Amino acid sequence: MIKFFRHIRQKLLTENKFSKYLLYAIGEIILVVIGILIALQINNWNEFRKDQVKEQAYLVNLNKDIKADISYNNRNIFERYDKKVEALKNGKAYYQGMYTITDTLTFLNDLGYGAVFGNVIWAFNKTTYNQLVNTGDFKIIANDSLRESILNYYNLLNGIDESSEGKQTGYVKYTNSLAPFNRDAPGFISSFDQKLFLSKIKSEEFYKLLNLELTLAYEIKGKATSVDSRAEKLIELIETYLKE
């Protein structure tokens, strides 16, 4: 093909048809430019398709991570919350002389249960989000509103992580010092430790710890509720976008 065009140019030059040669040369340049533009357009389209596939994979994984956050909150906070709060309130009522113990071992074990999620360790799933940020791929999330919602959700999680550092009340450590916890025998408390535990429940120090742990429980539930609410909305946005 190149030889064919070269032959035409040479023929026009030898025949002294300069004006026709000029027009032909311009036409040839235009054809080259059009070819380049078409090639660029094809390349851009291919890159766009690759980004779309990558975007979809990221969003599917984000969706799984966010659902896992909800599952974690349900399993570790909401399903334990009522029993924890009831145990702490019973401890307060006992100190105030408004609660009668019917089963010492059960009562003390319930107070021990009041320590659940007291270490304030959140386990948010940030793997996909961190990958998006660290690789610079966040820009391939084409929908501005969705991208902003994702950022807001993970800013909330990061804020909760930061604000929860050092939030332990000391209740976990204190109750463990009175009756060591053994996962192989979670309900066992020796007779001596039972007596010691009961004597400490009536102390002002323990009463203050009960109040601090209750306050922490309310705060953790509030944060978990905020996460779930934001997570459910984001899941809906992602799933709607993936269906489009």
Over residues 106-119, the pLDDT tens digits come to 999 999 999 999 99
* 106 part of a folded domain: yes
Nearest to 110, CA basis, from 78, 75, 92, 83: 83
Write out the residue range of the structural domain in which residue 108 sits: 59-243
Hey, is 72 helix, strand or coil? helix
* 48 part of a folded domain: no
* Distance from C-alpha of 72 to C-alpha of 123, rounded to nearest angstrom: 7
pLDDT digits 0-9 by tens, 68-97: 999 999 999 999 999 999 999 999 999 999
Q: What are phi and psi of 196, to 5 degrees?
A: -65, -45
* 33 part of a folded domain: no
Entry pTM: 0.80
pLDDT digits 0-9 by tens, 122-131: 999 999 999 9
pLDDT digits 0-9 by tens, 32-41: 677 677 767 7
Q: How many domains does the chain have?
A: 1
* Distance from C-alpha of 244 to C-alpha of 239, rounded to nearest angstrom: 9
* Per-residue pLDDT band at 183 (split at 50, 70, 90): confident
* 27 part of a folded domain: no
The CA-to-CA distance between both ends of the chain, in Å, stands at 45
Long-range residue pairs from 218-227, CB within 8 A, at least 24 positions apart, any chain: 219/167, 220/77, 220/117, 220/120, 221/77, 221/78, 221/81, 223/160, 223/164, 224/73, 224/77, 224/78, 226/156, 227/69, 227/70, 227/73, 227/124, 227/156, 227/157, 227/160
* Distance from C-alpha of 14 to C-alpha of 17, rounded to nearest angstrom: 8
Residue 207 is encoded by which pair of tokens? Answer: 């009463």
The mean of the pLDDT values for the chain is 87
* 146 part of a folded domain: yes
Residue 69 is encoded by which pair of tokens? Answer: 């956050």
The radius of gyration of the chain from alpha carbons, rounded to an integer in Å, stands at: 34
